Amino acid sequence: MDGDVAAASAPGVRGVEAILHALQTMPLSPGVYRMIGEKGEVLYVGKARLLKRRVTSYTQLGKLPERLRRMVSETVTMEIVTTHTEAEALLLEANYIKRMKPRFNILLRDDKSYPWIVMSDGDAFPQIAKHRGKLVKGASYWGPFASAWAVNQTLNLLQRVFLLRSCSDAVFNARTRPCLLFQIKRCSAPCVGRIAPAEYAHLVEQARAFLSGQRNGLRDELVREMEAAAASLAFERAATIRDRIRGFAAMQDSSVINPASLEDADIVAIAQVAGQSCIQVFFIRGGRNNGNRAFFPVHARDEAPGEVLEAFLAQFYDDKPPPAQILLNCAIAEHELMADALGIKRGRKVEILVPQRGEKRAVVEHAETNAREAMERKMAESTAQAKLLDGVAALFGLDAAPRRIEIYDNSHIMGANAYGVMVVAGPEGFERRSYRKFGIRGPITPGDDFAMMREVLERRFSRALREREADENGADWPDIVLIDGGAGQYSAVRAILDELGVSDVTLVAIAKGPDRDAGREWFHVADRPAFQLPPRDPVLYYLQRLRDESHRFAISTHRAGRSKTLVKSELDEIPGVGAARKRALLNQFGSARGVRQAGLAELEATPGINRETARVVYGHFHPGWSGG
């Protein structure tokens, strides 16, 4: 070890000394260690069955790959957390990596939540709906699904087969006649008594059995019900059941991968091309294919497929329950440890397999083909994107292709519900995680777009300048700022940036021609007369797409803000009625109008509303009432 240290560079020696210092008090027990850099940033997170033995290996620089030698050279201190078992350490390591995003680890960039199907428990007429976010008690969940499209398709088919309500409790309680879903045979209309509670409960039981994979006999049961209805001359009911059978057949046939031997499993396959990886995951739940999704983890070019796949599994299941089986296309080193850790996460045994033959091998090969094709598409898109960015650099006189382009826009109606937005694009296309919304605080004269843009840019760049001062490498600093407008907008924004001291950003204004003709845009930049590009220039199409994306995001942000304003209830004006009590009142009476028309005794009988609150609510709607 002494020879290794002596041969190391000065930064490497400093890192080794920091590790040796931490080893003095490090136990021989399972746990997680973090390498910390000079500015307090987490460089690397690892786990070990024996912490002291594992961390000691980092002091032998000559035996480490270049990536880890560089990591050790930047280490100034270490932190550890001990655990009871190595499996617990693996789960904690994955959680830390997802939260802290250390740059020397393999990183899964997966910031999207997954949709589920949820059915309310304890209701006389349970609701079935789509759910995103944290799973809570008091409901049953099935999933996850790979996309909103997959869950919406399944919900539509479930409505067709089982006729369960999908409306909210407030809408359900307020209805006086069936809605359109009843007319098109997607709901049994329990809201107005078109189905008996016992019959609806039978539909719920069938739906639960189907979603849980217990489909054997369900089709035969429906056929028997249809034949019995026809025999008793209840032809309308027989026709309804016939439609349900057709919907059931559609559910059976709608899957691309639907292997009979799999009930609850994830099929996970990796493909590597030119040092980059794509991992394809197919979700099989209840014997049904819930869709698939491609992931592109960030890692060093020399990482082996098994190492990438192992890191992916730990991080992927950090915030979601694993299924009973996970099928892989290549082996991972710590197979048994991963199975134990995921078993802890699930609360039951998890089996990890690398099938070699048969139906399971066929579906794994299908997933691997999808992963390879997705990787090839991404590389082709990246090549095309790189050419476009090179064209942008040449057009605006940049020394290199831009790494970050920020596009700004505003949206409002006569100054009301005013929002500014920032859209970001780069080598990987649109970076939606970096999009930002700015609710205009004002005071601003209605319709003053210049003032709105000033507020947005001041808020954006004041923060960016602070981040840049604290850590130049950590600041998200744009190469190009693109705005929609002509010479006037360009001059105004240039003055704002100059006031803020932002001088190393290329500002570009894009304006349509006199007839608002898309394709004949004028570009305004510094030290150059306004100019146009040839109508079929690929760089012109690219810049138009950037501007149009900012328009889309600004309009959708404005509409969402306006919708929140429009749905404000009269109940918001009642003192002492917060979100929980407002929900209780709406669940009981269906609308603010129903609450207004309710008597005092009805208000006092509402679950979640005490006598004092009921009197306050009643008094709000009856100003002349003395409270007697």
Sequential DSSP letters for 177-224: S--HHHHTTS---GGGTSS-HHHHHHHHHHHHHHHTT--TTHHHHHHH
For 39, phi and psi rounded to 5 degrees? -100, 15
Tens of pLDDT, residues 43-53: 999 999 999 99
Taking residues 91-112, report their average pLDDT: 88
pLDDT at 379: 83
Residues 560 and 425 in one domain: yes
Strand bridging mode 506-511 / 480-484: parallel
Residues 15 and 159 in one domain: no
Identity at 234, one-letter amino acid code? A
Per-residue pLDDT band at 6 (split at 50, 70, 90): very low
pLDDT at 309: 96
Tokens of 291: 């869709």
pLDDT at 217: 64
Q: Which long-range contacts (CB under 8 A, 24 or more apart) does 116-124 make?
A: 116/141, 116/142, 116/143, 116/144, 116/145, 116/151, 117/141, 117/142, 117/143, 117/145, 117/151, 117/154, 117/155, 117/158, 117/211, 118/142, 119/164, 119/204, 119/207, 119/208, 123/169, 124/197
pLDDT at 7: 41
Please count the CA atoms within 13 angstroms of the CA of 241 that sit on its side-chain side: 19
**Distance between CA atoms of 615 and 604, rounded to whole angstroms?**
8
Residues 532 and 409 in one domain: yes
Taking residues 294-305, report their average pLDDT: 90
Pick the most confident of 16-25, 108-117, 599-608.
Answer: 16-25
The partner residues of 351 in beta bridges, in order of sequence, read: 325
Which has more confidence, 211 or 417? Answer: 211
Dihedral (CA of 528, 529, 530, 531) sign: negative
pLDDT at 592: 76
For 415, phi and psi rounded to 5 degrees? 85, -10
Residues 428 and 555 in one domain: yes
- Over the Cα atoms of the chain, what is R_g? 30
Helix axes 197-211, 148-162, angle to 10 degrees: 140
Residues 558 and 414 in one domain: yes
pLDDT at 37: 92
Per-residue pLDDT band at 497 (split at 50, 70, 90): very high
Tens of pLDDT, residues 216-254: 666 677 677 777 777 777 777 677 777 666 666 555 544
Tens of pLDDT, residues 187-198: 999 999 999 999
Residues 533 and 442 in one domain: yes
Position 41 in a domain: yes
**Distance between CA atoms of 269 and 279, rounded to whole angstroms?**
6
Lowest mean pLDDT among 29-38, 126-135, 468-477, 543-552: 468-477
Residues 414 and 540 in one domain: yes
Taking residues 598-603, report their average pLDDT: 86
Position 436 in a domain: yes
Q: What pTM did the predictor assign?
A: 0.67
Residues 359 and 409 in one domain: no
pLDDT at 593: 77
Residues 95 and 123 in one domain: no
Position 224 in a domain: no
The percent of residues above 90 in pLDDT, for the chain, comes to 42
Per-residue pLDDT band at 566 (split at 50, 70, 90): very low
Total domain count for the chain? 5
Domain enclosing residue 196, as ranges = 116-214
Domain-ending residue, one of 100, 130, 149: 100
Pick the most confident of 101-105, 215-219, 240-244, 466-470.
Answer: 101-105
pLDDT at 286: 80
Could you give the strand order of the β-sheet that contains 325-328, starting from the edge strand earlier in sequence?
288-295, 276-285, 265-273, 325-328, 351-353
Position 108 in a domain: no
